Amino acid sequence: MGGLGNGRRGGRSPPLMIGALIACVLVLGFNYWVSSSRNLDLQTKLYELEGQVRRGVAERSETEMKRKEDQKEILRQKEQISHLETVDNNTSCVFVFSAHCSRTFPPAPKPYRNSMVTNSQRLHQQPTEVHRKMI
């Protein structure tokens, strides 16, 4: 019962088939080498970009902290300004009030050293023109 086909019973494959298989293996190996080198380049770029992102995040958080500190400083300075304005307004009211009351002011200092006027006498004198201009 001879088999179908050419009747050859050898274990040998035709040389054309072996050549085609070797060519396929070579093409697949080359493609693998090219894709792995591209993958390595892309991984390197990815690591560089991740580093840049980390530095950017660190700089951003640092900038945010500085901005918050600056805002606190601005708020503190605004509070100081408003406090000084209220103190200034209160003191200006005292000066206006004291200018209209009957309180006496010490006179302007005299250029002479041997003045016979004592401090108690200065307190009871009427304000001079120089004192009124200062108010």
pLDDT of res. 1: 47
| Overall pTM surpassing 0.75 (yes/no) | no
CA dihedral of 116, 119, 123, 125, whole degrees rounded to 10: 10
Per-block mean pLDDT, blocks of 10 residues, the chain (135 long):
54 87 97 97 97 96 96 96 87 53 59 55 58 56
Domain that holds residue 31: 22-51
45 assigned to some structural domain: yes
The Cα–Cα gap between 95 and 105 comes to: 12
Domain assignment present for residue 124? The answer is no
Our count of domains for the chain comes to: 1
Q: How far is CA 48 from the centre of its chain?
A: 24
Asked if the structure places residue 26 within a domain, the reply is yes
Does 71 reside within a domain?
A: no
Q: Is residue 34 part of a domain?
A: yes
In a domain, 47, yes or no: yes
pLDDT of residue 90: 76
pLDDT for position 91:
72
Is residue 123, in this structure, part of any structural domain at all? no
